[in-house]
Structure 1
Amino acid sequence: MPTVLHRLGRFAFRHRRSVLALWLAVVAAVVACTVAFGGSGKFDNTFSIPGSESQQALDRMKTDFPTSSGTSAQIVFTAPAGQKVTDPADAAAIRAAVNAAATAPQVARVVSPFDARTVSPDGTTAVAQVQYEVPSSGLASGSLDALKSAVSTSVSGSDQPGVKTEVGGAAYGNAPGKSDSDLIGVGVALLILVVTFGSLLSAGIPLVTAVFGVATAIFGLLSLTGVVAISSTAQSLALMIGLAVGIDYALFIVTRHRSQLAQGMDPEESAALAVGTAGSAVVFAGLTVVIAMAGLTVVGIPFLTAMGLAAAGAVLTAVLVATTLLPAILGFAGARLAPRPGSRAARREAAASGTAGAGTGRAANAAEAWFRQVTRRPLLALAAVAVVLGALAWPAHSMKLALPDNGTAPAGSSQRVAYDEISQKFGPGFNGPLLVLANTGGSADPQQAAGRIASTLQGLPDVAAVGKPVLNPATHAALIQVVPRTGPSDSATKTLVNTIRDDRAAIQRQTGATIQVTGSTAVQIDVAAKLNAALLPFAAVVVGLSLLLLLLVFRSVVVPLKAAAGFVLSVAATLGAVVSVFQLGHMGSLFGLDTTGPISSFLPILLLAVLFGLAMDYEVFLVSRMRESYTATGDPLQAVHSGARHSGRVVTAAALIMISVFAAFLGTDNIMLKQIAFALATGVLLDAFVIRMTFVPAVLALTRRAAWWLPRPLARLLPDLDIEGERLQHVTAFPTPTPTSVSAAASASASVAAASASASATDGRLR
């Protein structure tokens, strides 16, 4: 792979105008496809599991009860102080609003609160049910806004304008979040890059290539919304991960390129060698992330599948940009990327290359200084890591998983106000009623059977109310609404659903009818159960895959085991931090939270996939330099310090960039995206600075030579992947002449060989 990437980097450098034109054409093509085939920016934010009981029942309801098979909304009417909704003037205003709502786009029917008897006991609040025949993903972009407008216009124009209205319900759940702070992460990333490189030109290149990659990935994703169900969360995840890894991958390659330029290497040879060496690590790390994200498809939930494939596509695009477009841009920059003699960047490169601080016990940079402190007292460092991560991970044992509902919607939003008002006046279960679909074909008297089922359901614990059965004699079906005493995300509601399903055999013996539990709440419970069941097997696959990949890369037993242990620690601590903030409410106000709630069911499995890939990034970029040094010198402790000297600063900068990009999305008002952003930012922080920069050097300092041991039989079986391109560096020390004029070729070859030989000699003295 290093040889192929070396040739690719040289080709892109030499044909930079053609490569740039090709990428501009690709971006133009995906933009055109978005305009031509995209679904006008429409996303599907619904949860479902094809083949599950709740989904099967919903599919059948499309035939048996079409007006109840789609999503629904709720209109909450509140009478002015001192009045009741049943007062003649208020009741007239409510009836007018109900009639107006019935004329809104895509509305199948509206049930008046006076017909449904959904008036609060104190008479101050009433709730009308708005039913659609399509799921929320089938609603046109302006349908819900039109419903709000119709209701508010009708009430404000009535003789009793004091009646207050709020519109909410399942149709408003999982609405796309809004965030105007996405560019903050890019701004912070630029600042970090300027400090890292000491050059605005060098700092701008990773941002430019990252924007190319993100634009290609996002517009490509948008072009599919017309034919494939994609959630807005999937788009946001692809954006944040694509931007973060796009900047980081370019950072690794540009850092190697500038280091080689500082040693006098020719720009073309340096760009090719940087792509062949650091680019090999980028390709390996990127493919690891792609595999982890694409692995989410095995869970079998379309919502999560779309998220995984969208993120995988963004990462794959970032890898392609880093290995093709980046060397082309390096060709446009030429020798201008080399640090100016005497500059801070030049002195830093000289120190990293070994001309200062090597072998004397002095640190060439802050990362190496920290590594020296850690390796001086490795047991103390490991104890500190265990205490810190253990304390952070402890709250995870009380983690409650569920899918978000309108109870966690932004404060002041219509759906949140409606949810809170209904919970207060009618009970939280009214926000997420269950639907029981009965097949009465085997009953002697379908109507009597439906009534008996309703009576049985009414007697179950945690049932607040049971509606009158709605019959469809033509299809031998009955639909019964069950209102729990607890909210949609409460564990007691899940228990009630399981209880009803467990009683189906007894109900069939008594009535001859079979039942299925469905509705938006039941669907969310089924999705959460599916995710919980898949969590441990997926975690085992991820950890096992990390062991295998690192065994191949580093040809060591200890290094993969250490990496897997560090990965598990960082994930546990991250989940504990998420529970502390979002479920227990600690410091929630710092992140714009006004209420607590359960953790999104898909967050743990998503966190496993994303952090696995990102952790492998840092492990490869940091430990590969250590292995390279150990192979050359045989000194295990000096190898740890060498890894910090060459890669510590760039890994630190890469982690800070990722953290800033993820943290910028904390400004969203979508609780799911906010939890994802917080988890990823926290996970990268812990993995980069606690695990990679503290746990890793401490373990390697304790194990010394055993860290790089591999049994001989296993060593013969495993291929040598040469991720860092060590063999390539030896080959390119004497580059072959370019096919131009003979004299020019000889001159270029001699200069490059001299520079490479000088760099090799310096590196040899360091080792």
Structure 2
Amino acid sequence: MALLLYRLGKFSARRHWWVISAWALIVVLVGGSALLFHGQTSNSFKIPGTETQQVADKLKADLPRSSGGSGSVVFASADGTPFTPAQKDAISAALKKAATVQDIRGVTDPFNTQATLDGAAGQIADGEAKLTAAQAKLDAGKPQLDAAAAQLTSAAQNLDASQRQLDQQKAAAAAAGSASTATQQFQLAAAQARIDVGRQQLAAGQSSYDQNKKTYDDGVAEVARQRSTLDLSKQQATASQAIRFVSANGQAAIAQIQFTGSIDGISPEVRTQVQAAVQQAAASGVRVYPSKEITQDVSEIFGTAEVLGIAVAAAVLILMLGTMVAAGLPLIMAIIGVAVGVGGGFALSGVVEMSSISPILALMLGLAVGIDYSLFIVNRHRQQLLAGMALEESVATATGTSGNAVLFAGLTVVIALSALTVSGLPFLGVMGVAAAATVAVAVIVALTLTPALLGLIGTKLISKSAWAKATPRHGKHVAVEDPSAETAKSGKGWGGFVTRHPVLTLVTAVVGLGIVALPAAGLRLALPDGGSEPVNSSAYQAYQLIGKNFGEGVNGPIIAVGSLPAGLSATDAQALELKVASELRTVPNVVAAVPAALSENRRTAVFQVVPTEGPASASTVQVIADLRAKGAQITKDTSVTLGLTGQTAANVDVSNKLGAALPLYLVVVVGLSLVLLLLVFRSLLVPILATAGFLLSLAAAFGGVVAVYQWGWLSAIFDVPNPGAVLSFLPIILIGVLFGLAMDYQVFIVSGMREAHVHGQSAKQAVRTGFSHAARVVVAAAIIMTSVFAGFIFSHLTMVRPLGFAMAFGVLLDAFVVRMTIIPAAMHLLGSSAWWLPRWLDRILPDVDVEGAKLEKSALGSNLASSPADTGPGATRGRTTIRTTGGATGDASADLVDVDGHS
């Protein structure tokens, strides 16, 4: 591989205009594609197959009017007094204006809604009074009705008795036969006529009674119906009493704005129009604060803070390389790599759903590794020029040696990020692949465009003062002995101190990292909410005002969706809804549970559940679990099947899923680390040592994140206004990124130690030599990478801030404590044992030659660099190139000095 990269470097240096033109064309094509085909990124972190996603899909199908995303707008009195009628009218007018914006399904007027809620108590009281009066009237008429019934019964009995008596008389008269007189017959007929008249009168009385009884029964039924309706209204009022839309003091109001689609799919133009509409109310003297759901804009991925990080990196490059040209080259390489990598991601965002964090992660890594990878090659080339190597040969050799290490280091980062796909989380897989692709582009840029520009720039890379030191007299180029070589021999510097006191430094570093890692035991994961936004932002103010005036749980309501039995009447469905809501309110830390919507077929009901605390709090996470456990009992009691959805429940599910995927991913990365390092260093102990160091720095980075962002330590410095749970996908991303970067520094430091040992130095001296050769460039690279990541700590996107801190802190600890303290101390203590490898394993392992040692031997043996070249002012022809060592570290130390053209 080293020889192949050597040839690639030589080709790029010779045909630099071809390579530069090709990359210019690629940048134009990718940029054009990004502008033409880009889609919209979002903060939606969906996981197919989870309960929240399944319930959301059901809700969208059964009750589409309730499936869209929603946001809040908080209105607050500026002078601390209740809203005036004019202010109420202004707010209502602003909301009506907002309702006309495209993609808005509906707007809730807080004053009308609160008036309805407040009026419910009065309506219930009026209903109670009317029912009492109606019941009293019924009760008053009941005795008369009962008396009439008694009279009818008595009259019927009398008529029946008279009829029996008459029937007996008729029977007696019939028995007498002709003896019966006409007078008797007349009397019997008259008596029958009187009985018949009495029965007619009884029938009329019965009819009147039946009508009165029906009226009474209807009245009783109506009172019972109204009583049932009133009871349902009471239950509804009870369910709603904890929810307000206007604060009790009349100084704050909250309006709900529902969109037609997902909140993450709302375009920035619509968000801007909504904000402009509601801000019209500010003219009346009220303060207007749209919530995070409305104000979030993920269309910008680069801000002022990020530029400051790049500026620090540029300053480090200038100090290290000495010229603006040399310092600017790695920056340009990084920018081109990011332009192609991130631009390509944007070009695909129209067909691939991409979260907003994906291009930002790609940007962070692309900038950091892009600068570092080019720096390694540029620094190696610069040292070789100063050592007397011909320009073209130096570019090729730097690409074949340091470029070889860059290729391997980049490959580790790419593999670690691509392995995020094993998590089973689609958005995380896309995030990892996008970042991995950008890192891959950075590697290709470093191996092709960097050599091309080095060939074009020539000796302008080195300052006149540096050339003056290298050509002190007679115009003859004299290689300057690398100061690191003397440092290694004398045991001075940090490497010397560590190797003189290996036990002390090793124990101190490990204990120190262990102490820093202690807070990691309390790590709690969640997705960000409005409370994590900047203090002066509208989203943060809205979040705080809602919590203060309406309860923290209103910031993160939980949506429960119930499947009701078929065939229910409207009243039965409502009664069942309220019964379920009543059961939901029995769950600990639930403030309110309100029926919110019912489908037309009365099969799907939506409930809004308000927890006690905010969406990212530990108690709310427990509420989610308790609600799901309660759902089983509700199904048993009511035959209603419940499921949870909404942003709060989805965030909890995402966090749980990420937490479950973390151990598997860590095992994959650690296993990968051991295999790769075994190939590189052909040793059993070095990979174990490197991996143990990675785990230490990882745990310490987690500890720092928990201390700052969860516990609030140094919150004023890092602008953490509302400490809470850690970003749920931060740990798994940090593992992948920190692993790749840690292996970078491991390769650049330990490969120099291995090369020195292979060239004959004792194992302990090789530790000093390798460390001294690598220290300068690794320190610069670590500072650059830390600076780039640190620039994102104060990003305008608060979701990125803890990620930037974690990466910056992790790289800082890994580079300076693990790779530059623990590793050399442990390697010095192990001595020759560090390089032990069983013979059978040595035979089957391929030799990847990361240090490019074979290339250097081949170059020296065939005198590849013996051709004359002008490498700087006063350089002469006929000079033999000086062989350099330092492996992949990018530093060179002179082995031979050629003053008169002879070696």
Answer whether TM exceeds 0.5 for this pair: yes
CA deviation map 1:470-510 (0-9, x unaligned): 21133721111111111100111111111111222222222
CA shift in 2, pair 1:382/1:124, >3 Å: same
Q: Which residue among 642, 651, 657 is the counterpart of 2:784?
A: 657
The count of residues paired between Structure 1 and Structure 2 equals 745
**Retained in 2: the 8 A contact 1:257–1:274?**
yes
CA deviation map 1:653-711 (0-9, x unaligned): 10011111111222323222111111111111111111111101100011101011111
Distance 1:181 1:344 in 2: 40
**Retained in 2: the 8 A contact 1:288–1:613?**
yes
CA shift in 2, pair 1:696/1:174, >3 Å: farther
Structure 2 residue 75 is matched with structure 1 residue 77? yes
Aligned to 2:481: 351
Letter in 1 for 2:744: D
Deviates most, 687-696 or 135-144: 135-144
**Retained in 1: the 8 A contact 2:301–2:359?**
no
Aligned to 2:396: 272
Structure 2 residue 817 is matched with structure 1 residue 694? no
Letter in 1 for 2:108: V
**Retained in 1: the 8 A contact 2:76–2:287?**
yes
CA shift in 2, pair 1:193/1:166, >3 Å: closer
CA shift in 2, pair 1:356/1:497, >3 Å: closer
- Tell me, what secondary structure is at the counterpart of 2:351? coil
Deviates most, 714-723 or 617-626: 714-723
Taking the TM superposition and a 5 Å limit, the aligned residue runs for 1:96-245 are 96-113=93-110, 114-115=112-113, 117=117, 118-154=245-281, 156=283, 161-168=284-291, 170-172=293-295, 179-245=303-369
Distance 1:566 1:358 in 2: 24
Aligned to 2:741: 614
Aligned to 2:608: 481
Taking the TM superposition and a 5 Å limit, the aligned residue runs for 1:201-350 are 201-337=325-461, 340-343=466-469, 350=480
Quote the offset at 1:344 in angstroms. 8.4
- Say which one has the larger Rg: 2
Letter in 1 for 2:75: F
- Tell me, what secondary structure is at the counterpart of 2:613? coil
Aligned to 1:366: none
Aligned to 1:420: 544
Distance 1:752 1:504 in 2: 88
Quote the offset at 1:446 in angstroms. 4.2
- Tell me, what secondary structure is at the counterpart of 1:671? coil
Quote the offset at 1:752 in angstroms. 9.0
CA deviation map 1:179-228 (0-9, x unaligned): 31322222222221222122333222212222221221222222223222
Distance 1:178 1:276 in 2: 34
Aligned to 1:43: 41
Distance 2:100 2:297 in 1: 25
Distance 1:448 1:591 in 2: 52
Aligned to 1:22: 22
**Retained in 1: the 8 A contact 2:45–2:355?**
no
Letter in 1 for 2:89: A
Deviates most, 76-85 or 471-480: 76-85
CA deviation map 1:450-477 (0-9, x unaligned): 3322121011111101112421133721
Letter in 2 for 1:494: V
Distance 1:225 1:343 in 2: 53
Quote the offset at 1:26 in angstroms. 0.5
**Retained in 2: the 8 A contact 1:198–1:345?**
no
CA deviation map 1:47-67 (0-9, x unaligned): 211121101111222222222
CA deviation map 1:219-252 (0-9, x unaligned): 2222223222223322222112111111110111
Distance 1:323 1:315 in 2: 12
- Tell me, what secondary structure is at the counterpart of 1:73? strand
**Retained in 1: the 8 A contact 2:390–2:868?**
no
Distance 1:763 1:628 in 2: 15
CA shift in 2, pair 1:426/1:274, >3 Å: same
- Tell me, what secondary structure is at the counterpart of 1:126? strand
Letter in 1 for 2:441: T
**Retained in 2: the 8 A contact 1:100–1:150?**
yes
CA deviation map 1:246-292 (0-9, x unaligned): 11101111122222222322221221111111111101100110111
Aligned to 2:183: none
Give the TM-score of the pair, scaled to structure 1. 0.92
Quote the offset at 1:82 in angstroms. 6.8
CA deviation map 1:554-580 (0-9, x unaligned): 011111111111111111111111122
Aligned to 2:580: 453
Q: Which residue among 563, 578, 592 is the counterpart of 1:439?
A: 563
- Tell me, what secondary structure is at the counterpart of 2:508? helix
Distance 1:55 1:677 in 2: 30
Aligned to 1:410: 534
Give the TM-score of the pair, scaled to structure 2. 0.78
CA deviation map 1:324-382 (0-9, x unaligned): 111111111234446744538999983338874564x254xxxxx11111111111001
CA shift in 2, pair 1:426/1:341, >3 Å: closer
Distance 1:212 1:584 in 2: 39
Letter in 2 for 1:49: I
Distance 1:621 1:759 in 2: 13
CA shift in 2, pair 1:78/1:336, >3 Å: closer
Aligned to 2:2: 2
Distance 1:458 1:272 in 2: 73
- Tell me, what secondary structure is at the counterpart of 2:860? coil
**Retained in 1: the 8 A contact 2:326–2:378?**
yes
Letter in 1 for 2:762: D
- Tell me, what secondary structure is at the counterpart of 1:733? helix
Give the aligned CA root-mean-square deviation in angstroms.
Answer: 2.8
Distance 2:525 2:479 in 1: 49
- Tell me, what secondary structure is at the counterpart of 1:633? coil
**Retained in 2: the 8 A contact 1:443–1:511?**
no
CA shift in 2, pair 1:512/1:349, >3 Å: farther
Distance 2:399 2:678 in 1: 23
Identity %: 42
Letter in 1 for 2:107: V
**Retained in 2: the 8 A contact 1:67–1:132?**
no
**Retained in 2: the 8 A contact 1:266–1:752?**
no
Structure 2 residue 720 is matched with structure 1 residue 593? yes
CA shift in 2, pair 1:557/1:629, >3 Å: same
Quote the offset at 1:174 in angstroms. 7.8
Taking the TM superposition and a 5 Å limit, the aligned residue runs for 1:294-693 are 294-337=418-461, 340-343=466-469, 350-352=480-482, 356=486, 359=489, 361=490, 363=492, 369-441=493-565, 446-474=573-601, 476-693=603-820
**Retained in 1: the 8 A contact 2:495–2:771?**
yes
Aligned to 2:221: none
**Retained in 1: the 8 A contact 2:882–2:895?**
no
Distance 2:893 2:403 in 1: 23
- Tell me, what secondary structure is at the counterpart of 1:436? strand
Distance 1:528 1:272 in 2: 48
Aligned to 1:706: 833
Distance 1:127 1:348 in 2: 77
